[in-house]
Amino acid sequence: MYQVLIADDEAIERNALKMMLENNIASIEVTGEAENGVQLLQMLKKNRYDIAVVDIEMPGLSGLEVLQMAQKELENTRVIIFTAYSNFDYAQMSLRYHAFDYLLKPTRRDKLMATIERCVEDIEAARRKSVNSERLKKIIGQIRPLMDEELLNSFCTGSGDFARLKVYLNALEISTETGYIVTFRIRDRRKGQMSPEDSLDQLALKKSVAKKLSTGLSELVEHSLAQVQRDKITAFIPVERPGAEYQNRVDSINLVHIILDRIQLPETVEVIAGIGSVQESLEQMHLSYRESISALHDTKTNMAIRHYNDLFDRKEQDWHILQKEQKQLLAAIRDEDMEKQKKMIDQIFFVLHKKPPEECSSHILEMIVQILHSVDPYFSENQDHRFHISRLCRECMNIGDTDSLKRWLTEYCQNLSREMNVGSHTGIVIEQARKYIDDNYQEDLSLNDVSRHCNVSIYYMSRLFKEKMGENYSTYLTRVRMEAAKEMIRKYDYPLKTLSDKCGFRSVGYFCRVFKQYTGVTVGEFKEQR
213 and 351 together in one domain = no
Residue 170 · residue 187 · CB < 8 Å: no
- At 315 the pLDDT is 38
Q: State the CATH number of the domain containing residue 249.
A: 3.30.70
Is residue 345 one of the residues assigned to a domain?
yes
Number of domains in the chain: 4
Report whether the peptide linkage leading into residue 196 is cis, meaning its omega lies within 30 degrees of zero: no
Same domain, 301 and 160: yes
Residue 499: Cβ within 10 Å count: 21
DSSP secondary structure code for residue 374 in this structure: H
Q: Is residue 123 part of a domain?
A: no
Residue 148 maps to a domain: yes
d(CA 302, CA 305): 9
**Does residue 127 lie within any of the structural domains?**
no
Same domain, 490 and 397: no
Q: Verify that 172 and 298 share a domain, yes or no.
A: yes
Spatial neighbors of 3 by CB under 8 A, at least 6 apart, are: 29, 31, 32, 47, 48, 49, 50, 51
Give CA–CA dist 198/186, Å, rounded.
Answer: 16
**117, part of any domain:** no
Q: Is residue 116 part of a domain?
A: no
Domain harbouring 484, CATH code: 1.10.10.60
pLDDT at 278: 92
Structural domain including 470 reads 426-529
Whether residue 243 sits in one domain with residue 150: yes
Supply the CATH number for residue 80's domain. Answer: 3.40.50.2300
382, 419: one domain: yes
Residues in CB range of 479: below 8 A, 6 or more apart: 471, 518
| Domain limit, last residue, from 424, 445, 474 | 424
Contacts of 137 (CB under 8 A, 6+ apart): none
Residue 248 and residue 167 share a domain? yes
* Whether 166 contacts 147, CB under 8 Å: no
Residue 34, CA distances (Å) to 61, 372, 435 in order? 12, 72, 85
Last residue of a domain, one of 311, 338, 361: 311
Is 211 among the domain residues?
A: yes
User: Of 380, 397, 424, which one is at a domain's C-terminal end?
Assistant: 424
Residue 187, φ and ψ in degrees, nearest 5: -140, 165
Query: What are the φ and ψ backbone dihedral angles of 469, each rounded to 5 degrees?
Result: -100, -15
Same domain flag for 332 and 401: yes
Q: Do residues 371 and 403 both lie within one domain?
A: yes
Instruction: Kindly state whether residue 33 falls inside one of the protein's structural domains.
Output: yes
How far apart, in whole angstroms, are the C-alpha atoms of residue 443 and residue 265? 51
Residues in contact with 485: Cβ distance below 8 Å, sequence separation at least 6, in sequence order: 499, 503, 511, 515
Alpha carbons 21 and 79: distance in angstroms, whole number: 15
Amino acid at 432: Q
- Mean pLDDT in order along the chain per 10 residues (530 residues): 88 87 85 90 89 86 82 84 68 69 78 87 81 69 76 80 82 85 86 64 78 83 81 87 79 86 80 91 89 81 80 48 79 83 88 76 76 60 45 71 87 80 65 89 87 76 78 88 92 89 88 90 85
Same domain, 291 and 413: no
Same domain for 395 and 453? no
